[in-house]
Amino acid sequence: MPHLSTPRAMVVVNGDDIHHDLLGAAGVFQQLGVEAGFVTRKAMGTGRFADPRPETAEADVYLLYTAGGHFATDQQRALADAVRGGKGLVGVHGANIMGVLGDGLDPADRPLFELLGNRYLSHGPGHHEGRHTVEIVADHPVTRGLADFELFDEYYEFETADEDLTVLAQRHRADGVVVPVLYAREVGAGRVVYLALGHDLRSWGEPPVRTLVRQALRWAAGRD
C-alpha cells in the first residue's frame, strides 16, 4: 500500500439517529487515531469520497462512525474503489446500518454492504443492551495483546455479505448462540475491519475497546 511519509486517518461521522452521539464519537476516535500514530482529522458527512478534496484523498485509513442518514450510492462506490486501491476502512458499530427495501437490502446500499461485509439486522432477542463477555478468538494484529474482557454495550446482530472474513472476537447470547463482534477482511489491495462494539462512552472508555480501535486503524492502514 502506498503511504505519505506521515500516516493520516480520517474519522467520518454521519447520520440522523438521535440515539448515537456522533460529535462525542468524533472526538474520541480522533484521539485514538492520534494515539495510534496518525495525523487524524475528524469530518462530518459521507459526501466526500467522489472527487475528494485533498484532506480526504490523502488519508490512509477512514474510520466510519455513522448512524443512519444518507450515504449516496456514488459515494459508496468511490469509497469502495479507494479501499480496493489500497486504503483502509474501519467501520464501528452503526456503520453497518443500511436501507431496507421489502424484505432485503436496498440496492442503493449494495456497494457499502459488499465493501464493509455486513449489514445490521437487529439487536437480537431480549434486551437491546447489557453486560457481556467479549471473547477473543483469533491471533491477529488487531487483537494482539488482548484477552477476553467484560463490557457493557449495545447488542448488534448482522447479515454478512460473504464468507471472506476472519472473525476476531465474539459473544454468546443468553440462548447460547454465538454472535461475531469483530472481523477483518481484505478487499482488493485494501483492508477492512468491522467492530460491532462502540455504542457510547461506556464502550469507548474501556481500555480493551480503545486498544482494538487503535490496532484496527494500524492494521487497516497497513501499518501493523
C-alpha cell read off for 218: 494500524
Query: Is the pLDDT confidence value at 2 over 70?
Result: no
Please report which helix (H) or strand (E) contains residue 167, including its range.
Answer: strand 166-172
The confidence band for 224, taking pLDDT boundaries of 50, 70 and 90, is confident
Query: Is the pLDDT confidence value at 1 over 50?
Result: no
pLDDT, one tens digit per residue, over 85-123 is 999 999 999 999 999 999 899 999 999 999 999 999 999
3-state secondary structure of 41: strand
Q: Note the pLDDT of residue 107.
A: 97
Query: Is the pLDDT confidence value at 4 over 80?
Result: no
pLDDT, one tens digit per residue, over 173-198 is 999 999 999 999 999 999 999 999 99
Q: How many CB atoms lie within 10 A of CB 20?
A: 22
Across 44-55, average pLDDT: 97
Q: Which amino acid is at 122?
A: S
3-state secondary structure of 42: strand
> What is the chain's alpha carbon radius of gyration, rounded to the nearest angstrom?
16
